[in-house]
Structure 1
Amino acid sequence: MLFTSSELITKIVINEKTQNALKLYGVVLKPLVLLLTIFTGIFPKNYEPPPGGFYFEINDVSPVVQDDPLLFDYNVEERVNDFVAAAVSQANITRTNHIMFTMGTDFKYQYAESWFRQLDKFIHYVNKDGRVNALYSTPSIYTDAKHTTSESWPLKTDDFFPYADQANAYWTGYFTSRPALKGYVRLLSGYYLAARQLEFFIGRSSVGPTTDSLADALAVAQHHDAVTGTEKQHVADDYAKRLYRGYAEAESLVKLSLACLTESASISGCDSPKTKFEQCPLLNISYCPQSEVDLSHAKSLVVLLYNSLGWKREDVIRIPVISESIVVRDSEGRVVESQLLPLLNASTTIRSHYIKAYLGISPSAAPKFWLAFPVSVPPLGFTTYFVSTAKQTDSASSMSTLYSPQVTEKSTTKIGPGLVKLLYNADEGRLSFYSNSRSKVNAVVEQSFSYYTGQDGNGSDPQASGAYIFRPNGTYPIKSDTQVPLTVLQGPILDEVHQQINPWIYQITRVFKAKEHAEFEFRVGPIPTDDGTGKEVAMQITTAMMTNKTFYTDSNGRDFIKRIRDSRSDWELQVHQPAAGNYYPINLGVYMEDNSTELSLLVDRSVGGASLVDGQLELMLHRRLLHDDGRGVAEALNETVCVDDECAGLTVQGKFYVRIDPKGEGAKWRRSFGQEIYSPLLIAFSEQDGENWINSHVGTFTAMDPSYSLPDNVALLTLQALEDGSALLRLAHLYETREDKDLSTMANVELKKIFPDKKIGKITETNLSANQERAEMEKKRLKWKVEDSQSAEMVARGGPVDPSKLIVELGPMEIRTFVIKFDYIFLRV
């Protein structure tokens, strides 16, 4: 009898005899492995002690073991029988005669002695009874006990979503709960990745700012009641505060790193750089004092863009400015085409409200324009651009173009300065058609909004919709307000369509000249609750595709899992809630396909999604509810923001991205652009007087060999300076087997070109979490018997790294982690 849970990673490798036989015929295989990622089980009810009264928190109602025979409530035999009965009951539905009890649950062990005093007694008297052997355990002891039985185990290759603990209680609400916090965690995760790289480039400090505080805050925010949104409001506020404090220290590190890297190509001895860089954490609501400056008197705004990806990146950035006479130049002094977009009332309203809420100030005036211009940034490096007021000598063609907003009066409106075009039915105020002239895709596409009313729990079934549970009590379409016509902004770089869907939903759709997808920026809130009902707001993309109930959602941003509406592959399903019972977590994206095309939808944060109708994808964007769902939060999911003691529901702003490709061609965009979403360009600002910056600073930088970039199917997940001067490097193959005909192949990464200025002295491969050498871990791997092992796919995996060649091989979906020691150590002090 064991009191702990367990997980195990194991793999089965093609044996040496088979490899040698194949070599006789000139066949050399990369290592092929059968991956069983988790050895696990499911408890009969939940992750708490078994039924029968085994809770021993202070003032708990479970009877303690009273082992003094002189007292009238002596109960050793009774309590032993209860324990044995619980063990036998669980053993009857568990393979082998080894079982596990998890003695504890949420909010327990406030006073551990009360637990362990009783557990000690149970172990003593149960073992004395002899029918069951009980002991304190560890995961490894439990796993070894299971393994020694030589049992054959079933293999499960999908997941357990959606999960429900009762007929009307699907735990699919938390996929979207607190979408603002989810977005903040995602944003700072990408920032942390970039900050760690910059910390590595200049050397880890023993006394100055580091990325450690942000690492700690992000780690805490991964708690299952944190990023899921199933915590109390004051706890969510505390998570956000910790994240901001972590960001503030990392921001100081980033400022120092960028100053060091721009002031000299050699960073050795960078102690007190003079250049001051600033960043704009509220750029998403058009607030950036660093860019909203007067650029007269020969001043220029220096815009530095850092790219944390391992390949060159082409993008378009947007910053708020106050002048309409603007010229943008690159670090070589060449004019860059740029475009001004007027800042409309919807943006200035949310800007002023949330600046007052978050910073406690009221800015004197809002900027007049968004300045947009294309940028090109090398891998693991930066590029610098300069924004200045146009001079009399500048030609009109070199200045930013300003196009006045157009209020549509025609029945149809087409936007898109590049290959992708969107057609709008202006009379109905909605999207109607999508086309791509390169791929020859032409598709009827409509977008709509709706909301579910949350069940209040007052009927015969008291289950309410809440932070965990999604239980709708009706679905209501949100019709576009045709009284507010579409506003269209068009230019050489991007087009925008602004839609006031209803008084509390606003959307901006962007199509870029150089991109083959559409970007949708939504603002939802404050969700009204004056009618006494909570609401859960969703968005639908509807096509004529014949999808046969099938769609695909990502698993933690990695492999995509096939989903079939109202169906599970390994048991007969009864769905009591047609919407909630078909919702899934969406972390990277969701897609659907038919015989000719596939439609992909990517997200900027974790949300819930579904395909409730053939040819349609749905995302839940925001939830505001008025009742608790009885799963431990003990308060309603009702987020508000207060300004001057006046409180209103939270407005959530976010983005999703849509693209339609010929069937089989969408994976390239999902994988590559998915990395860009997760790791946006880091933007920093400085000022220069005159034109002396280029003469005294480095305009462009890459940490890699200038002629090299990572393969298109490989992402750099981690580049981190460790305390001893070594580096932690983590590389990931982005594609699944057979996902793409060109990129689902073995990839090679040349470490000498990632670190061209350093000599690698020693490279050690570790497990994923870098706390154990892979060689030692391999010795401890257990080989398990698997039922129907032919159903498990053999996949290629990279071999050992040759220390002379220093080339890392990666098979599809493989992640490899290394600790690298260089022949010299540079520490910043």
Structure 2
Amino acid sequence: MIDQTTLGHLFLKQEFDQAPRVGWQIDPFGHSAVQAYLLGAEVGFDSLFFGRIDYQDREKRKKEKSLEVVWRGSRSLGSSAQIFAGAFPANYEPPSGFYFEVNDASPVVQDNVDLFDYNVKERVNDFVAAALSQANITRTNHIMWTMGTDFKYQYAQTWFRNLDKLIHYVNIDGRVNALYSTPSIYTDAKYATKESWPVKTDDYFPYADRANAYWTGYFTSRPALKRYVRMMSGYYLAARQLEFFRGRSNSGPNTDSLADALAIAQHHDAVSGTEKQHVANDYAKRLSIGYVEAEDLVASSLACLVESTKGGGCGKPVSKFKQCPLLNISYCPPSEAELSPGKSLVVVIYNSLGWKRDDVIRIPVNSESVTVQDSSGKEVESQLLPLLNTSVSIRNYYVEAYLGKASSDTPKYWLTFLASVPPLGFSTYIVSRTKQAGTSSMSTIQTIEEIANGTTEIGPGSLRLTYSVDEGKFTHYSNSRSSVNAHIEQSFSFYSGNDGSDNVPQASGAYIFRPNGTFLIKSEDKARASDNSSWTLVG
């Protein structure tokens, strides 16, 4: 969200030489306290407005005249990062009777006295009544009407023709003053009153617009798209850093396309997963296009950094680094290639975080005669894990279906090793063939044997984990070193969605989570596992 806000504000500044003063977040499904300070006061906003808050909270705030508040979302920053915030009385729509789309039923303003449907007085009275009604739940004499909603202004002339007439005749009437305005003008008017405002310090979650309609379904809608956006956000951070380290080029690959795609994906009907399928496909396609360009940038930048000498600059790198974005289906052609004698695989690992990372690296390989060394030539302890049949099946399906490649060359193992990477830096590891088979210390795969009471045990040394063979559940944990001995009760459950056919017609779906009870998952087959810890390679 910070990247998206930065991108949008830079565009407005460059194109119009204007800096936004108001956050207009009218349709997201609830609002976190972070919106108040990090994406409100901290980005230079004077105010923040939104439409969706819980229906019970809204009614309470109407009575208390507290729809508008000073929102102090950060305990540590306190009043230094507070912001004036307002929720609308009825989502983000006009008052009832003031919808002027060509297919709406609201009476238009007829000011021709020669026609039988002349209604200026009635329309002015309706306008004043609606204004006074909102004024009775609002502090100060200033109120805001949002004249529009979803899918409106398809024919803008009908709106502005009627609004022009209403403003004209309402001001002649004189009971209230009406004008075209902006959130900034409205905010300035509020500030000028020197009114005291209630202080809010928490968030606006969860959001429900009526009973049994909590908008929490989107927390898990389209999890694959959510994961994709999350992965690309992390990749964008790393790519942008490498772009800076090498120096941005006026020609050639950059991170702009990925930045645009990620910004678009932050829409409240994008990463939330509430869009239709063809729209979700479009978001994913844009992310993919952005990734491809950023991938070229990352590869060339890493090659530049690896080959550069102290004070020598970059030049044209010789190394051709390839990346493996499909490791989630056990697919990485560079690491799967057969290593001939004298040939090595160079693995470069980049850390975009501001602190050192020690993490396990896992790449698919075909040979069991491999060894891993760090950049100084020191041997690194590694491990070979056989690919599970389920992993092989998933890989074969997607590789053949989407990449058009035969599944005959499936790798046999995962090669894993512990890598240590400095902050904002990279580490290099060398994977090579051993001089002859059998020089690495390894034993055979051992299937976990069933012990007493239908359970199995795994774990090295003092740490032991016990699982149920029949249900595959974790049942017992023991650590002789720390004298911990605990029984564990594990269960898997799922929710059945309500279909909305009861007395309250609200179905569970992409937006709203409404369960119809909680159900346990019963295991029908025995769990089978392999003790992979015996495949240890010391190089």
Which TM-score bucket, shorter chain as reference?
Answer: 0.7 to 0.9
- Given that 1:260 and 1:267 are in contact with CA atoms closer than 8 Å, whether structure 2 keeps it comes out as no
How far is the alpha carbon of 1:163 from its aligned partner? 1.6
How far is the alpha carbon of 1:39 from its aligned partner? 2.0
- The aligned residue for residue 49 of structure 1 is 94
> Of residues 32, 36, 39 in structure 1, which corresponds to 2:84?
39
- The aligned residue for residue 244 of structure 1 is 288
- The aligned residue for residue 191 of structure 1 is 235
Structure (1 or 2) with the larger CA radius of gyration: 2
Give the residue type in structure 2 aligned to 1:49.
Answer: P
Q: Work out the CA distance in 1 between the residues paired with 2:444 and 2:132.
A: 76
Residues 659-674 of structure 1 aligned to structure 2 (within 5 Å): none
Select between 164-173 and 351-360 the one with higher mean Cα deviation. Answer: 351-360
Residues 371-450 of structure 1 aligned to structure 2 (within 5 Å): 371-392=415-436, 395-397=439-441, 401=442, 404-410=445-451, 411-417=454-460, 422-434=465-477, 443-450=486-493
Select between 211-220 and 139-148 the one with higher mean Cα deviation. Answer: 139-148
- The aligned residue for residue 731 of structure 1 is none
- The aligned residue for residue 503 of structure 2 is 460
How far is the alpha carbon of 1:127 from its aligned partner? 1.9
Question: Partner of 2:335: helix, strand, or coil?
Answer: coil
Question: Partner of 1:168: helix, strand, or coil?
Answer: coil
- The aligned residue for residue 128 of structure 1 is 172
Give the residue type in structure 2 aligned to 1:73.
Answer: D
- Asked whether 1:270 is paired with 2:311, we answer no
1:37–1:283 Cα change, 3 Å: farther
> Of residues 358, 361, 374 in structure 2, which corresponds to 1:314?
358
Question: Partner of 1:306: helix, strand, or coil?
Answer: strand
> Of residues 259, 263, 275 in structure 2, which corresponds to 1:219?
263
1:332–1:226 Cα change, 3 Å: same
Q: Deviations over 1:661-719 (max 9, x none)?
A: xxxxxxxxxxxxxxxxxxxxxxxxxxxxxxxxxxxxxxxxxxxxxxxxxxxxxxxxxxx
- Asked whether 1:9 is paired with 2:41, we answer yes
Q: Which structure shows the higher helix fraction?
A: 2
- Given that 1:67 and 1:76 are in contact with CA atoms closer than 8 Å, whether structure 2 keeps it comes out as yes
- Asked whether 1:334 is paired with 2:378, we answer yes
1:40–1:420 Cα change, 3 Å: farther
Q: Work out the CA distance in 2 between the residues paired with 1:113 and 1:467.
A: 35
Residues 80-95 of structure 1 aligned to structure 2 (within 5 Å): 80-95=124-139
Give the residue type in structure 1 aligned to 2:158.
Answer: S
Give the residue type in structure 1 aligned to 2:279.
Answer: V
Give the residue type in structure 2 aligned to 1:455.
Answer: N
Select between 271-280 and 302-311 the one with higher mean Cα deviation. Answer: 271-280
Give the superposed CA RMSD.
Answer: 2.8
Give the residue type in structure 2 aligned to 1:370.
Answer: W
1:10–1:324 Cα change, 3 Å: closer
Q: Work out the CA distance in 2 between the residues paired with 1:5 and 1:188.
A: 26
How far is the alpha carbon of 1:10 from its aligned partner? 8.4
- Asked whether 1:181 is paired with 2:181, we answer no
Question: Partner of 1:256: helix, strand, or coil?
Answer: helix
- The aligned residue for residue 676 of structure 1 is none
1:150–1:491 Cα change, 3 Å: farther
TM-score normalized with structure 1 length:
0.53
How far is the alpha carbon of 1:364 from its aligned partner? 3.0
- Structure 2: 5+ residue runs without aligned partners? 1-21, 26-35, 44-75
Give the residue type in structure 2 aligned to 1:180.
Answer: A
- Given that 2:444 and 2:535 are in contact with CA atoms closer than 8 Å, whether structure 1 keeps it comes out as no
Q: Deviations over 1:350-388 (max 9, x none)?
A: 112233444344433211111110001111110111111
Select between 109-118 and 414-423 the one with higher mean Cα deviation. Answer: 414-423
- Given that 2:446 and 2:534 are in contact with CA atoms closer than 8 Å, whether structure 1 keeps it comes out as no
Q: Deviations over 1:545-595 (max 9, x none)?
A: xxxxxxxxxxxxxxxxxxxxxxxxxxxxxxxxxxxxxxxxxxxxxxxxxxx
- Structure 1: 5+ residue runs without aligned partners? 12-30, 495-829
- Asked whether 1:109 is paired with 2:109, we answer no
How far is the alpha carbon of 1:144 from its aligned partner? 2.0
Q: Work out the CA distance in 2 between the residues paired with 1:492 and 1:148.
A: 73
- Given that 1:10 and 1:38 are in contact with CA atoms closer than 8 Å, whether structure 2 keeps it comes out as no
Q: Work out the CA distance in 1 between the residues paired with 2:475 and 2:207.
A: 35
Q: Work out the CA distance in 1 between the residues paired with 2:87 and 2:163.
A: 23
Q: Work out the CA distance in 2 between the residues paired with 1:418 and 1:90.
A: 70
Q: Work out the CA distance in 1 between the residues paired with 2:156 and 2:464.
A: 64
How far is the alpha carbon of 1:33 from its aligned partner? 4.9
Residues 426-825 of structure 1 aligned to structure 2 (within 5 Å): 426-434=469-477, 443-491=486-534
How far is the alpha carbon of 1:255 from its aligned partner? 0.8
How far is the alpha carbon of 1:491 from its aligned partner? 4.6
Q: Which 4+ runs in 1 deviate beyond 6 A?
A: 436-441
Q: Work out the CA distance in 1 between the residues paired with 2:462 and 2:163.
A: 69
- Given that 2:307 and 2:314 are in contact with CA atoms closer than 8 Å, whether structure 1 keeps it comes out as no
- The aligned residue for residue 564 of structure 1 is none
Q: Work out the CA distance in 1 between the residues paired with 2:490 and 2:143.
A: 51
- Given that 1:417 and 1:491 are in contact with CA atoms closer than 8 Å, whether structure 2 keeps it comes out as no
For this pair of structures, how many residues does the alignment match? 469
- Given that 1:304 and 1:382 are in contact with CA atoms closer than 8 Å, whether structure 2 keeps it comes out as yes
Q: Work out the CA distance in 1 between the residues paired with 2:23 and 2:307.
A: 54
Q: Which structure shows the higher strand fraction?
A: 1
